[in-house]
Structure 1
Amino acid sequence: MKTKEIVQSKIPDPRNQDAKIKAQKVILGFKKELVEFFVRLRILRIVFRHFQNPVKVLKILKTLDSNRRKISGPGRVNKFIKINGRYFWNLYIPGSNSLAFDRFFEAEINRISPIPGKTNRFSNIFIAFTKKCPLKCEHCFEWDVINKKEKLGLNDIQMIIKKFQLKGVAQFQITGGEPMLRVDDIVEMIQSSHKGTDFWVLTSGFNLTYANAQKLKQAGLTGVVISLDHFDPESHNLFRGFKKSYQWVEEAVRNSIASSLVTALSICVTKTFVSESNLMRYAELAKKLGVSFVQILEPKALGHYSGKDVQLAPEQEKILEEFYLKMNFDKRFRDFPIITYHGYYQRRVGCFGAGNRHLYIDTDGDLHPCPFCFSKTGNALDGSLDDSIAELQAKGCHSFNDSNIR
């Protein structure tokens, strides 16, 4: 499929249609304290469901809170995002008042003190839905297989989803290629899956029309993560290899928010991008667009970046960490999107990939540590899944030590 042949039709502004927009609601102040109280109460009930010893329960709760500070930073959550009656404060933790939330924290509790019959380690599974993509992104990690013949059909993907759902996985992140090229298959896959699991789509914004956003929402999709790699339209289009990609992002964000989907932006920050002023300009744009989260990814020498010197310098990592802490814990920025920055916790407690808390399933069904670390360990359809996962966990992450948060 040639990029120049891809045409995305002009998307009508849903605000001019009959649909009612239900944008995110930011919860601050006393209401935030009240929500946090009930979130903590729900976690307490989950712990008591499995352990009745008050001393043990208190120890588990203290460890959970200690782990939170190690992973997210020393400050308290200063806001919640309310969407569809659920409260979100972290892009990779399911919103409260849901079975997915309960499953996530059961897995975390199980790390601290084993729950009888509970074996799940995973909070997120990334699964590549297609090899097809209309773009030629500068950082593409699937560059070597883009637009080649598909290997996984819908039935294969449904089987993989079912296997991991039986292990109690809380969330699935649907990626690609460009997963929105198979939007109808995604809808059918979500509809046929067990309830109580959150599904997210990771997209360039292509084909995320208002009608498709509505279909995905009605099927049960929780949210979308839309890639936007620069606040400047021309720079983003150049990075993505297509002249309309910035326009797609704007339309996709609008359609996602209008459909009451949790909406996030994701940026791969390059050496030439990382500066305090650029990060703030990006945050201002994200705030203007109305998204709930911004995810910051560091470039990896993989795929199209293979063999290139793309790793950030220590002083750039420091800029990112300071920005992350400021935006999430400084009260001056409470009305900005919540920032997710994996590099912060990776350098402190290790990687959560490699079968620790998540893994990546590529377009052939092969298991890898994460989308940015390719090291095949078995296949999700063939052989023993448990053996493949055990081998993946034993190998760990080659870039970071195994997490010391168990």
Structure 2
Amino acid sequence: MTGPKYLHFQVTERCNLNCPGCYLPARDGAAWTSVNTIEESVFKPLASEGVRYVTLTGGEPLLHPDCVAICESACRYFSDVQVVCNGTLLDISTYEALREVGVREIKVSLDGLIPDVHNLLRGRAGTFEKVVENLKSIVGLPLIRRGEINLGCICTVHPENVKILESTAEFVRTIGLDSMLFQPFHPYGSLYPPGGKVSGVHPHAQNDFLAVLDEQVEALRVLRNRYPGFLDNTLAMLDKFKAFYVNPMGPEQVCGADRFAFIDSELNVRGCLFCRSLGSLKHKSMTEFRENKVWKSFDNFRLRCRRCLMGCQFVDKGKDLTELGFSLLSVEKPVEAREVFDAALGMEYSTEAAHGAGLARFRKGELNSAQSLFEEALLHKSRNLFLLGDLGSVLLQQGQWDRLADIARRILTISPEHTLGYRFRGLIARHEGHPDEAVRLLRRAMETDQSNDKWVFFEYGLACLEARQLVTAEKYIRVAIEKDPGFSWYHYRLAMALRGLGRKSEAVDACKEAIRLDSSQKVFQKFLSELNGTLA
């Protein structure tokens, strides 16, 4: 059995609101689970078992006094950490603390743009005003403090807000948030083990409600096409909305809960959001859980269940393809990667798949196509440093220096110590004939580089060569050669530095190595002739 890729972890079941439709039992008097216990019993073992993504939720997770430390621990073990909260405690200082430890995404509950509606559905007056105040404060931060976090909202559909779904999404987009998700209200606390009677027809499934729901879902489809990447609902999930309310056994779909590990703050494991505890991680690992009779009994139930529409079954079916595409890129198979990324985009648009499709084209030299894909993705993820960096690399190859300068400015505005910002500015200085400035900027790029990239060393060495700082040039070009001895141009530039230092015999050897690696370069042959002439 394939293990889960996603962890849904309840940091606490305590909450500062009183939502009438909450499916979780409150544990107001429960002790806080320690960071160390969570790390050792949940994060560390699940990461080793293949979990890659985590959603930290509650209750209200920000109530936990060590919530930031828990997030920091999660970020050490998982590639993508999301926090889902009600927004009342998400002030600027908390947001910045979450950004600093590496949280990638924050989702805030917002059940409409009308204060009374939201407050009714959240069970406390003043909630809407506080949430919107916090969100606007965060959006208003300078880019350097806003960072790359994807900040969005989740709205639970209810008769009180069904008429304003589209306008709520537009409100969220207009105030500057990155994403929006709609999910239906589930009128039950538990589906498994089967016990009490669960009515086959949803209590909200009245004709007036369903008619408005049809109109609003269609409007959301239009909005989704107008702003790709903004609405988190897949088209498949939108297709199932009405069926969820009217079909006695729910919409036709295959449950996706097997891709998740659902664990609460007391380390109890559930099969899904609407499943009672199946046991505790205090006694078994997640792998052991999924091999025992209790889990297999739930799994048999899950395969027949059609009663929820939380989205597990739709979680980025294109995401698996996108991950495969990046795996293919990592082993230098851009043609195959391109086909996979294009297939992912054919299923559902995502900025990740568009980014990958652009990278695959970039690797094949299709610069215009790569540029278009990067630019489209940046319309939806304007603060994504990886996208900005890859677009900058395309612009560099195309010699679009003015646009490259703008990319460098944007990168350094978001992250003032980012290597690529200094690298691009240094290369622009070289192009404009300012060798000393190029040396300063490219040295800064080298000092801030965390990847130990060969190009950073080579470009700094090349800038030193042009600035006649020959000893330094030799040193760093040799570093680049150590990292990639098979690249001919490194040896050619080393030969130039050695000639400048008066070590012409060594320069000849370096130039011969460049020719051995690539005999088609006439400039290498010409330089060798010059060297041999001076030696004669």
TM-score, normalisation: structure 2: 0.46
Alignment of 1:112-151 (within 5 A): 121-142=3-24, 144-150=25-31
Q: Report the equivalent of 1:301.
A: 187
Q: Report the equivalent of 1:364.
A: 266
Counterpart secondary structure, 2:182: strand
Q: Report the equivalent of 1:273.
A: 161
2:286 corresponds, among 371, 385, 399, to 385
Task: Provide the C-alpha distance between the structure 2 equivalents of 1:184 and 1:377, rounded to a whole number of angstroms.
Answer: 27
Q: CA deviation at 1:183?
A: 5.5
- Alpha-carbon displacement from aligned partner over 1:166-221 (angstroms, at most 9, x marks no partner): 12222111111110112533334424753552111111112211111111111111
Task: Provide the C-alpha distance between the structure 1 equivalents of 2:130 and 2:107, rounded to a whole number of angstroms.
Answer: 13
Give the number of aligned pairs: 278
Alignment of 1:44-193 (within 5 A): 121-142=3-24, 144-150=25-31, 152-159=33-40, 160-182=42-64, 184-191=66-73, 193=75
Does 1:264 find its partner at 2:152? yes
* C-alpha spacing 1:184/1:152, structure 2 compared with 1 (3 Å): closer
Q: Report the equivalent of 2:246.
A: none
Does 1:400 find its partner at 2:306? yes
Q: Report the equivalent of 2:530.
A: none
Q: Which has the higher strand share?
A: 1
Q: CA deviation at 1:340?
A: 1.9
Counterpart secondary structure, 1:238: helix
Q: Report the equivalent of 1:351.
A: 255
- Alpha-carbon displacement from aligned partner over 1:317-368 (angstroms, at most 9, x marks no partner): 6446434432222xxx228932426844764542211x2x223212322222
Runs of 4+ in 1 over 6 A off after TM superposition: 401-406
Counterpart secondary structure, 2:233: strand
* C-alpha spacing 1:251/1:382, structure 2 compared with 1 (3 Å): farther
Q: Report the equivalent of 2:224.
A: 328
Task: Provide the C-alpha distance between the structure 2 equivalents of 1:386 and 1:293, rounded to a whole number of angstroms.
Answer: 34
Task: Provide the C-alpha distance between the structure 1 equivalents of 2:204 and 2:227, rounded to a whole number of angstroms.
Answer: 30
Q: Name the amino acid aligned to 1:274.
A: V
Q: Name the amino acid aligned to 2:263.
A: I
- Alpha-carbon displacement from aligned partner over 1:124-156 (angstroms, at most 9, x marks no partner): 2111111221111122111x3241313633222
Structure with larger Rg: 2
Task: Provide the C-alpha distance between the structure 2 equivalents of 1:178 and 1:297, rounded to a whole number of angstroms.
Answer: 18
Gaps of 5+ in 2: 191-195, 241-250, 321-536
Counterpart secondary structure, 1:226: strand
Q: CA deviation at 1:241?
A: 1.8
- Alpha-carbon displacement from aligned partner over 1:61-115 (angstroms, at most 9, x marks no partner): xxxxxxxxxxxxxxxxxxxxxxxxxxxxxxxxxxxxxxxxxxxxxxxxxxxxxxx
Q: Is the 8 A contact 2:12 2:59 kept in 1?
A: yes
Gaps of 5+ in 1: 1-118
Task: Provide the C-alpha distance between the structure 2 equivalents of 1:350 and 1:344, rounded to a whole number of angstroms.
Answer: 15
Larger RCO (alpha carbons 8 Å, 6+ apart) = 1
TM-score, normalisation: structure 1: 0.60
Counterpart secondary structure, 2:277: coil
Task: Provide the C-alpha distance between the structure 1 equivalents of 2:65 and 2:43, rounded to a whole number of angstroms.
Answer: 16
